[in-house]
């Protein structure tokens, strides 16, 4: 009996020791903007200073000529240049129905079941809609009104001297108060939480109703590529913005997008431990955002922060998702509604990946790619880590595979046919699409490497994506080595001390900004100087520590190291050399993207990566010489 027991235990031990498989889950969740956002600012480029917006238009049809229009109870009400009233629906824009009215109106607004009108003389009236004709009731006058709308709670008017007035409706009439100075406005509308305005400069603006005096930002204009119409009047109905144009046509808004923005998650479990890799089609995140997302993930799944690596593709054709406080106003803060879409997308992608986990094997392969080159340095300094790393998951018993691929190259090119104002996952999305055309591959995901000083060679992101796809396919067609071993995860912080500019030094860029208001670089530097002076006033000093976060996922004998910030290519080369006999991949743009992370040659040359970019990112200074050695040595000493 003892011999049989020994034999059973021996067989169990052997079978357990031979079990090298992982449980892997994968998911794709769209983070395309929803209808709650009419227009979003695209990230990554400071030019044109007028902004890059997602707002585009779909034509609904030709109409009669109108001077103002509004929406009420599912209908549009319009006045023609003579003040005559008409109604029509969004389904029948060319079929106007005359509305009998004894008074010619200049401006219209629908509010609480009533139609409000302002005459050319500035008299305000209200009337309930009626087929037999409108019976107007005279209210308090509004002199100099140029645009008129309702938020559902309040009435709003802009005046010929550039003021925004807020009207509170009561039984005895409407009381008005000034809430902002907005400049010359031609048309005004609202969705209940935001005001949308068409300026006499033909630019569209939006503001949060909670902060009408300080939150006005651009949201669209005729950019000659994706927004080509000449808007005359705007209105809002059923969650959509409508535009009437100078050539008497009606349009409704849409986001210009290729429709491929996503959060992709890969969960890998073994021995009771799980690591999660998340790839997000975004330009970058603030650390506070990723930490709050990780906290949501931890509460819902129990996966700790250090085990969730959040990497952004850094596509410059995705909406703003982090603060760029020194940029032009439309870039300074992300849209909160869209940021919630991204947050929910990341969390859901992790949950779905965990729920879909199935057993299988992981394999690792590496080859080279030639999609990029060093955009800044020359000669021996012009390094380029041109490796493309591939992780392949093969489910046990067959089924569709998952391919993760990593290389470092900036997604900054559109393509010759246009696309500078269109949302896109850029070349990583093109590569994913090609890989997933193979019936054997159901999921693919891209992890951005150390791309800080690497740009694509091709001017077409489609060509770049196609070339990278062929390089990944070549790796998959070669010999891949199995990934074996357990899982461990770490998140370390490397503290880098910097010396902020003195208050006296900050006066120089401040003065230049005042002297050269048309110079966008001077404006940028002035905003940066005011930001630093604000730190002095509120905290005694600007920050003196610029932390670098280093996350390490050991998934068997594959080591994935994620650096925060926009690390330049030499970091990848040096870190991989620390473990010459191991499978080591290095990503940047992980967890936090508050600046570049450049090497000494960049810092010495005071080029964009080593110096100028830190003002764009609102940092207290650039990194000091020796930061490269500090980071590499800390990673070596930690030996995660």
Residue 345, class by beta-carbon neighbours within 10 Å (0-12 exposed, 13-18 middle, 19+ buried)? buried
Could you tell me the sign of the dihedral formed by the alpha carbons of 551, 275, 282, 576, in that order? Answer: positive
Among 441, 440, 374, residue whose Cα is nearest residue 599:
374
Distance CA 432, CA 73 (A): 45
Q: Sign (positive/negative) of CA torsion 37, 61, 50, 225?
A: positive
Question: For 586-618, how does the pLDDT look when each residue is reduced to its tens digit (9 = 90+)?
Answer: 999 999 999 999 999 999 999 999 999 999 999
CA-atom Rg of the chain in angstroms? 29
Instruction: Return the pLDDT at 214.
Output: 86
- 501-536 residue pLDDT tens: 999 999 999 999 999 999 999 999 999 999 999 999
Over residues 230-249, the pLDDT tens digits come to 999 999 999 999 999 999 99
Q: Which two tokens stand for residue 182?
A: 């907005």
pLDDT tens digits along 46-99:
999 999 999 999 999 999 899 999 999 999 999 999 999 999 999 988 899 999
Name the band, by pLDDT with cuts 50, 70 and 90, for residue 215. confident
pLDDT at residue number 14: 34
Q: What are phi and psi of 95, to 5 degrees?
A: -110, 85
**Where are the chain's structural domains?**
21-38+259-488+548-613, 55-255, 503-539
From CA 375, how far away is CA 368, in angstroms rounded?
18
Strands 173-181 and 358-368: unpaired
Average pLDDT over every residue of 196-215: 94
Q: How confident is the model at residue 20 (pLDDT cuts 50, 70, 90)?
A: low
pLDDT in tens, 95-116: 999 999 999 999 999 999 999 9
What is the reported pLDDT for 3?
42
| Average pLDDT of the segment spanning 327-333 | 96
Q: How far is 528 from 524, CA to CA, in rounded Å?
A: 6
Asked if CATH classification 2.120.10.80 holds for the domain at 55-255, the reply, yes or no, is yes
Does residue 8 carry a pLDDT above 90? no
Strand 145-150 relative to strand 387-395, pairing? unpaired
Mean pLDDT across 480-489:
97
> Which residues, 6 or more positions from 577, have their beta carbon under 8 angstroms from its beta carbon?
none
Confidence of residue 133 (pLDDT cuts 50, 70, 90): confident
What is the model's pLDDT at position 15?
Answer: 37
Q: CB of 522 within 8 A of CB of 512?
A: yes
Buried b (16+ CB within 10 A) or exposed e, 459-472: ebbbbbbbbbbebb
Query: What value does the mean pLDDT take over residues 159-164?
Result: 96
Exposed, middle or buried by CB within 10 Å (0-12, 13-18, 19+), for 600?
middle
Of 14-18, 40-44, 394-398, the range with the lowest mean pLDDT is 14-18
Say what the pLDDT of residue 4 is. Answer: 39
The encoded tokens of residue 581 equal 């006999």
């Amino acid at each position: 009996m003892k011999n049989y027991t020994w034999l059973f235990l021996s067989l169990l031990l052997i079978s357990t020791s031979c079990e090298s498989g992982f449980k892997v889950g994968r998911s794709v969740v769209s983070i395309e903007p929803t209808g709650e956002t009419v227009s979003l600012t695209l990230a990554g480029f400071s030019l044109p200073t007028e902004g890059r917006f997602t707002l585009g238009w779909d034509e609904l049809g030709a109409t009669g000529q109108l001077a103002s229009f509004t929406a009420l109870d599912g209908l549009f009400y319009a006045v023609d240049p003579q003040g005559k009233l008409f109604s029509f629906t969004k389904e029948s824009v060319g079929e106007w129905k005359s509305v009998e009215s004894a008074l010619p109106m200049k401006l219209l607004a629908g509010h609480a079941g009533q139609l409000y009108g302002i005459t050319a003389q500035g008299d305000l009236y209200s009337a309930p809609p009626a087929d037999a004709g409108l019976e107007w009731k005279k209210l308090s006058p509004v002199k100099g009104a140029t645009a008129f709308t309702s938020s559902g709670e309040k009435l709003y008017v802009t005046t010929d001297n550039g003021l925004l007035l807020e009207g509170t409706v009561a039984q005895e009439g409407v009381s008005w108060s000034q809430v902002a100075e907005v400049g010359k406005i031609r048309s005004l509308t609202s969705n209940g939480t935001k005001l949308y305005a068409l300026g006499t400069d033909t630019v569209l603006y939006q503001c949060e109703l909670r902060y009408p005096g300080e939150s006005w930002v651009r949201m669209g204009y005729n950019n000659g590529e994706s927004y080509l119409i000449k808007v005359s009047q705007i209105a809002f109905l059923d969650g959509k913005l409508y535009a009437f144009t100078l050539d008497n046509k009606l349009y409704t808004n849409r986001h210009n997008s290729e429709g491929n923005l996503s959060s992709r998650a890969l969960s890998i479990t073994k021995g009771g431990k799980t690591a999660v890799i998340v790839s997000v089609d975004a330009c970058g995140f603030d650390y506070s955002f990723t930490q709050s997302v990780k906290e949501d993930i931890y509460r819902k799944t129990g996966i700790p922060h250090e085990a969730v690596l959040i990497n952004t593709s850094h596509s410059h054709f995705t909406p703003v998702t982090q603060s760029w406080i020194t940029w032009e106003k439309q870039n300074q803060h992300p849209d909160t509604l869209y940021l919630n879409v991204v947050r929910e997308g990341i969390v859901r992608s992790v949950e779905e990946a965990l729920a879909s986990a199935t057993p299988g094997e992981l394999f690792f392969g590496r080859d080279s790619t030639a999609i990029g080159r060093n955009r800044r340095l020359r000669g021996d300094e012009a390094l380029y880590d041109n490796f493309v790393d591939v992780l392949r998951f093969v489910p046990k018993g067959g089924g569709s595979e998952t391919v993760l691929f990593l290389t470092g190259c900036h997604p900054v090119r559109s393509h010759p046919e246009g696309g500078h104002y269109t949302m896109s996952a850029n070349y990583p999305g093109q590569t994913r699409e090609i890989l997933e055309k193979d019936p054997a591959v159901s999921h693919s995901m891209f992890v951005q490497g150390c791309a800080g000083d690497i740009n694509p060679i091709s001017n077409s992101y489609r060509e770049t994506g196609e070339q990278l796809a062929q390089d990944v396919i070549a790796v998959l067609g070669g010999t891949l080595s199995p990934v074996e071993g357990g899982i461990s995860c770490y998140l370390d912080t490397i503290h880098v001390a910097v010396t902020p500019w003195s208050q006296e030094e900050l006066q120089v860029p401040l003065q230049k900004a005042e002297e050269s208001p048309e110079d966008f670089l001077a404006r940028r530097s002035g905003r940066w100087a005011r930001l630093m002076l604000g730190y002095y006033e509120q905290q005694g000093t600007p920050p003196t520590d610029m932390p670098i976060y280093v996350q390490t996922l050991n998934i068997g004998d594959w080591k994935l190291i994620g650096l925060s910030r926009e690390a330049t290519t030499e970091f990848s080369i040096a870190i991989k050399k620390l473990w010459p006999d191991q499978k080591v991949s290095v990503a940047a743009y992980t967890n936090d993207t508050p600046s570049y992370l450049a090497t000494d040659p960049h810092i010495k040359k005071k080029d964009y990566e080593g110096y100028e970019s830190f003002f764009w990112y609102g940092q207290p200074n650039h990194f000091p010489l020796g930061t490269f050695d500090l980071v590499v040595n800390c990673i070596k000493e930690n030996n995660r």
